[in-house]
Each structure stands twice: as C-alpha cells, then as structure tokens.
Amino acid sequence: MRTNTEKLLKKLEQRAGWDAVAAVTIVLRLAHEKGDQEGAHRAGRSLYRLLLMMAVTSSAYWIAPEVFAYFIHFIFPLAATSVVAYDLHHDAMWQRTQWLYEMVLEHEDEGRPLAGFGADTRRLRHVFSHKYGFDLMFGFAPRLKHVAPEVEESKRRPLANVQVLWNWAEGVLAQGRREPIFSKRLVHK
C-alpha cells in the first residue's frame, strides 16, 4: 500500500519544476527532522529525479551544475539512512542531464515526446523505471555508498551487485547505445 507521502512524491515528479523541487525538499527535511530515515531517503530519490527532469524541461538547464552542487552539499546528506547515503557528484549529474536531454530531443524528433519545455513530466519520469529498459533505469539512478566502512556482508553484497549494474548502464549510455536488457554474463559476475 502506498503512503500519502509516496503518492505526493509521485504527483510532484509528474510536474517537474521549481515548486515541485521546493515541495520535495520540504518533505525530505521534515522526514529527516522526524528521524524517518526511509522517508527521507525516498524523498531524496524523488528529488534527484526532479532535478534531472527540471534541468531538461525548464530554463534551469544552464545553471543545473550549480543547482546540483548546492543540493549535493546541503540537501542530499539529510537523506542518508543508517546504512547508505547518496553518493552524488555534480559532474555525473550534469552528464546524466545531457543524456536525458538528448533522449528527450530524440523522442521529440520521432514524434513521441517525453516532455516539452515546462510541460507535464508523467512520461519522462518512466525513464527512471524499468519501462524504458534497465540500461536507463540503472544509468539514471542515483549512486549510493555505505555510511560506515565496516558493513556486514549481508548489507554490503546488495549494493555491490547494484554497483555492477550501475557501471554497465553508465557504459551503455556513455557510448550512446541502448541495451534495455542486461546479459546473463553480467548478472553472474
């Protein structure tokens, strides 16, 4: 069952803009202040997506690196749990913004717009799910890191497995290719 906060975050992601970024930042801050680490982490993921989408659908494109740097330094640390924190870098976010922008333009050229300038981002947000392929889902996903260096194996292994998928997807996107399904060879490494 979805909570009201999850429904709110989804609605805000469907209309990426400064108001949505401000609202999700407030949700993240309130969850952090209440000690709701999971809620703050979910809001952080939503905020990350919003920042990328807003950068490609608004006039924020050219100031995106500075906006990313601010959020990475001051806001995303509030979204850490006792196990993981966001491991974001403004250069990497800027690269993902460029890939997302190219994708938006390609879809527009094909007559299948994902979003337009200042438009509804319902379709664009699906890029962050499996609906457009695992290459995009993992390639555009925010990176995570362990909070403490000594993490037990059961908590370290899942993040290590996801790291393999992040690296694969990033390589696919960096080459300008699409590979919606990863190979079995990758999974068994």
Task: Reply yes or no on whether the pLDDT at 1 is more than 50.
Answer: no
Angstrom distance (rounded) from CA 168 to CA 6? 29
Which is more confidently placed, 112 or 116? 112
Tokens of 101: 């922008």
Q: Classify 144 as helix, strand or coil.
A: strand
Count of other CB atoms within 10 angstroms of residue 79? 25
Q: For the chain, how many structural domains are there in total?
A: 1
Phi/psi at 145 (5° precision):
-140, 160
- The pLDDT, as a whole number, for residue 60 is 85
Helix ranges (H only) for the chain are 4-13, 18-34, 37-57, 64-74, 90-109, 134-139, 153-174, 184-187
145 - beta bridge partners?
Answer: 85
Q: What is the mean pLDDT of the chain?
A: 89
Range of the domain at 129: 4-187
Task: Reply yes or no on whether the pLDDT at 34 is more than 50.
Answer: yes
Task: Reply yes or no on whether the pLDDT at 79 is more than 50.
Answer: yes
